[in-house]
A and B are shown apart, each in its own frame.
Chain A
Amino acid sequence: MLTFITQHIEMFYLIILMIFVGIELIGHVPSVLHTPLMSGANAIHGVVIIGSIIVMGQAEHVASLILGFLAVVLGTLNVVGGFVVTDRMLEMFKKKK
């Protein structure tokens, strides 16, 4: 376990830093923006699609290929749907006056 941690020590540093960055970013957001923010964050975690592409690009069996295909489709839905829905919400916050 110790070797596992030291092998990935950079990743652990990143995790700690990103936790604090995430908290800082959301700290003082008006409640008006909570919904678009949640929706935007929802789209960003669609980055999981990268993993599904890597898996699929190395799949050799039909079963893995089918599951991988499904994973890429679902990941794309998360990304595209997430960003488009967020944009539609924000479109309505046009500046007036």
Chain B
Amino acid sequence: MENQILQIIYLIASVTFIAGLKFLGNPATARKGNLMAAFGMVIAIFGTIFLYTTETGAHLHNLGFIFAALAVGTIVGWIVAKKVQMTAMPEMVSLFNGMGGACAMLISIIEFKHLAEVDLSTVAAGHLLTIVLGLIIGSVSFAGSIIAWGKLSGNVKDKSLGMQQLINIGLLLVILVLSGVMILGNTAFTVELFYAVFALSLIYGVLFVLPIGGADMPVVISLLNSFTGVAAACGGFLYDNKVMLVGGILVGSAGTLLTIVMCKAMNRSLVNVLIGNFGGGATGEAMGSANFDGTIKEVTASDAAILMKYAKKVIIVPGYGLAVAQAQHIVHDLELLLEAEGIDVKYAIHPVAGRMPGHMNVLLAESNVSYDKLIEMEEVNPEFATTDVVLVVGANDVVNPAAKTDPNSPIYGMPILDVENAANVIVNKRSMKAGYAGIENELFYKPKTSMLFGDAKKALTQLVSEIKALG
């Protein structure tokens, strides 16, 4: 009876996951979808705690420890998630993803330890395979996510041991062969092999993410996200638990597709992202010394103010610099001020501006910028030709013409915002430092471009007061 109720609860939870994910795909219903899936998760968790029975009909014990662990995780997770800055969202998602991977990894280890204590030789190969798969995928996801988190928060630098791809492929082969021997070989070393696979999977996770450029981290996080989904599904298989299977596979498949969609937005293939060493040290230095014709022209805030005040149409191009400086509110003030002057103001949103797709939208929405002012790339590109002033705030690679003109550039082929078609381009940057891809930007040397150096928040605040001063 109890088990039957639990199965119904799992069914309901599975429906909330599917419907929740569906609702998340529409701005109007997204929040509801998230709450719905959260509700499903809560009933599934408590249903399991109180109603789950083993094959012998025994209930779960250690309830005190379970609740203690739930309390610790809830309090820490809640506080961290509430406190994190909007700019640090991407790395936060990566970190939480790593936790899920680690959870799947630990489940496999405990299950294996349990089996090893009884008798490994009677265990079905399929059962062992599920455990090992959960272990490998969970460990790779855990180690990879932690590295991705470190990279985005600036603690881990891009690194490539020469012939990295060869090493990675070799390592993956070793892991697969060892797993095969362990599952089918029935040797005396099953336990040792298991822990060897565990250790190698962790190392593989690190080496897998380490050489991938920081600018590609969103794609990697999305990929690792779907990995964790598959690891969770392995757990579902292990316990014949349908809600784990549904949730896991759903995320695994949706996450994989999302990863591919993100790659497409950058006009690159997944393979290219994974083996491209995009933004790696070598390319960065070589390109850094490149010379362009023309000189850098600096502009003062007051000159920029005059330029903007007497424009008819202004397009603002936000980038990661805006997020770092927390300048989303002041940029909204600037927008309102210009609009009061009768100027047409829009935001041009590149799909990968910031560190994650949609990063800029989230950030600008926080400061109450209206939804219809945020124009996506395809739509806004033809408009630059009729624009008087483009204000680039902390964006670099997404407006780099090299993506169109220089086949040797690591970002060649990525669609960019055609800001150079506008009459004037004002670029706000902290310094002449290259962007995340580590390459120089010819745009800054063009005659119609002027540079407004400084922290985005400070520079824009100054700009706003200068425009006000003009009366």
Interface contact A32-B361, CB-CB below 8 Å: yes
In the complex, the answer to whether A97 meets B249 with C-beta atoms within 8 Å is: no
Q: Which residues of B contact A50 (CB under 8 A)?
A: 44-45, 48, 235, 239, 241, 243-244
Question: In whole angstroms, what is the CA distance A8 to B242 when docked?
Answer: 11
Cβ B77 vs Cβ A77 within 8 A? yes
> Inter-chain contact count A-B, CB under 8 Å?
376
Q: Which residue of A lies closest to B30 (CB)?
A: A90
Measured between C-beta atoms, what is the minimum distance from B43 to chain A in Å?
A: 11
Chain B's nearest CB lies how many Å from the CB of A5?
7
Cβ < 8 Å to A, chain B residues 1-33: 13, 17-18, 20-22, 24-28, 30-31, 33
Contact A43 B37 (CB under 8 A): yes
Cα A78 to Cα B262 in complex, Å, equals 23
A81 partner, pick from B37, B99, B222, B358, beta carbons under 8 A? B99
Evaluate contact between A63 and B60: CB separation under 8 angstroms: no
For the complex, give the distance between the alpha carbons of A24 and B43 in Å: 26
> How many Å lie between the Cα of A41 and that of B249 in the bound state?
11
Taking chain A's interface residues, is the majority helix, strand, or loop, or is none over half, making it mixed?
A: helix
| Bound form: Cα–Cα A23–B221 in Å | 18
B64-108 interface with A by 8 A CB criterion: 65-66, 68-70, 72-74, 76-78, 80-82, 84, 86, 89-90, 92-93, 95-97, 99-100, 102-104, 106-107
Residues of A within 8 A of B97 (CB): 42, 45, 78
Q: Is B274 an interface residue, CB under 8 A from the partner?
A: no
Is residue B155 within 8 Å, beta carbon to beta carbon, of the partner chain? no
Residues of A within 8 A of B66 (CB): 53, 56-57, 72
CA–CA, A86 and B34, complex, Å: 7
In the complex, which residues 44-70 of chain B have their Cβ closer than 8 Å to any Cβ of chain A? 44-45, 48-49, 52, 54, 59-63, 65-66, 68-70
User: In the assembled complex, how far is the CB of residue A50 from the closest CB belonging to chain B, in whole angstroms?
Assistant: 5
Whether B370 lies near A97 (C-beta < 8 A) is yes
For A26, list chain B residues within 8 Å (CB): 21, 25, 254, 257-258, 261
Given contacts A55-B111, A80-B81, whether A30 and B126 have CB atoms under 8 Å apart is no
CA distance A92 to B229 in the complex (A): 27
Residues of A within 8 A of B285 (CB): none
Is B109 in contact with chain A by the CB < 8 A criterion? yes
Is B113's CB within 8 Å of the partner chain A?
A: yes
Partner of A74, one of B103, B126, B256, B374: B103
B221 engages A38 (CB within 8 Å): yes
With a 10 A CB-CB cut-off, give which of A15, A40, A44, A70 has the most chain B CB atoms: A44
Known: A47-B44, A55-B111. A22 touches B252 (CB 8 A): yes
* 13 A-B pairs (CB sep. < 8 Å): A1-B125, A11-B245, A30-B27, A31-B261, A31-B357, A33-B27, A33-B358, A44-B21, A51-B232, A54-B241, A67-B109, A82-B96, A82-B100
* B residues in contact (CB < 8 Å) with A: 13, 17-18, 20-22, 24-28, 30-31, 33-35, 37-38, 41, 44-45, 48-49, 52, 54, 59-63, 65-66, 68-70, 72-74, 76-78, 80-82, 84, 86, 89-90, 92-93, 95-97, 99-100, 102-104, 106-107, 109-111, 113-114, 124-127, 221-222, 225-226, 228-229, 231-233, 235-258, 261-262, 265, 349, 351, 356-359, 361-362, 365-366, 368, 370-372, 374, 376
